[in-house]
Amino acid sequence: MDTLLQQLDENLKELYRKALDADALLEQLQQQGQAKYQAVFAKDAGFKVESNRFMPYLAETAEQIAAMRHSQQFNTATLQRVVQQLQLLHKTLAELRLAVKA
Q: Quick: pLDDT tens for 15-69.
A: 999 999 999 999 998 898 887 788 999 999 999 999 999 999 999 999 999 999 8
With beta carbons less than 8 A apart as the criterion, state whether 51 and 57 touch.
Answer: yes
- Report the alpha-carbon distance of residue 65 to residue 59 in Å, rounded: 10
Name residues whose C-beta falls within 8 Å of residue 98's C-beta, 6 or more positions apart in sequence. Answer: none
Q: What is the pLDDT at residue 102?
A: 62
Sign of CA dihedral 78, 65, 12, 96: positive
- Report the alpha-carbon distance of residue 4 to residue 93 in Å, rounded: 23
Asked whether residue 71 carries a pLDDT value surpassing 80, the answer given is yes
